[in-house]
Amino acid sequence: MAEIISGKVISAAVKERIAAEVAELKAKGVTPGLAVIIVGTDPASQVYVGSKERTCIELGMYSEKYELPESTTNEELLALVERLNKDDKIHGILCQLPLPRHLDEKAVIDAIDPKKDVDAFHVQNVGKIMIGDYDFLPCTPAGIMEMLKFSNIDPQGKHCVVIGRSNIVGKPMAMLMLHANATVTICHSKTQNLKELCREADILVAAVGRAKFVTADMVKEGAVVIDVGMNRDENGKLCGDVDYQNVEPLCSAITPVPGGVGPMTIAMLMQNTLTSAKRCLK
């Protein structure tokens, strides 16, 4: 029977720690502030942004939300980012992705002050992650590392296979595993012998965005399986990238969907905002 790595339980512990630190910081005159920008009316993005706002309030942080119409221009969006860069009340700026097609995502990410880039997507922060001297970590990979630590799963010396090479999850996930002394393989749509490579993994991270993509014949007995996916199955039910029902009996530990990695992503966003706010004391 696999250990179920619960993001709900672990994120609650992380948020409790953050709330205590926020209270200490506020006593010294600094309230961590997060500004979230959303453009358009994508339902999934609306849910994520609402959750981030509620968590801010729950932890005693200051929150600003900017809901912009689909017709927003690049110039208007960049002007808002520049204003928030200069706002001393704001320690973290997050622009909810994906943006509508007519907007320049890269230009927006590049415009955010690296010191307020709590998503850790700015090229400067990405470079710092590469060399292991970072201020912020991308929230989902950071959340996964926190889950492993909480569950006493040490990547050192293990073979970690990451399926997916996105800038948001796959690449930084591989880098954090490398920093934790794992041996890392990154797989993607052009990888040959994918099934065989996955079966060699001690830790398998699925971040491919396809429902139930990882099947039982791709998983080694006793592996730790981390499911980053958030999809809908043929019945419209939430599911991950892993065929949970058939894979779970093989694992030593596995994350569920929902209730696995998702809650950790928001918790680590709050951690990054707190880290940014602490700079005000230096």
- Three state DSSP letters for 204-237: EEECCCCCCCECHHHCCCCCEEEECCCEECCCCC
Tokens found for residue 84: 């928030």
| pLDDT at site 43 | 78
Return residue ranges of the chain for CATH 3.40.50.10860.
29-113
Closest by CA to 269, choosing from 150, 145, 124, 117, is: 117
| pLDDT at site 50 | 87
Return residue ranges of the chain for CATH 3.40.50.720.
139-262
Q: Which CATH superfamily, name and number, covers 29-113?
A: Leucine Dehydrogenase, chain A, domain 1 (3.40.50.10860)
| pLDDT at site 155 | 98
User: Domain 139-262's class?
Assistant: alpha beta
| pLDDT at site 49 | 85
| pLDDT at site 282 | 67
Order of all β-strands in the sheet with 33-39: 62-68, 33-39, 92-95
Tokens found for residue 171: 């690449």
Tokens found for residue 25: 């910081």
pTM of the model: 0.95
Closest by CA to 53, choosing from 240, 225, 45, is: 45
Give catalytic residue positions.
52, 96, 119
**Residues with pLDDT less than 50, the chain:** none
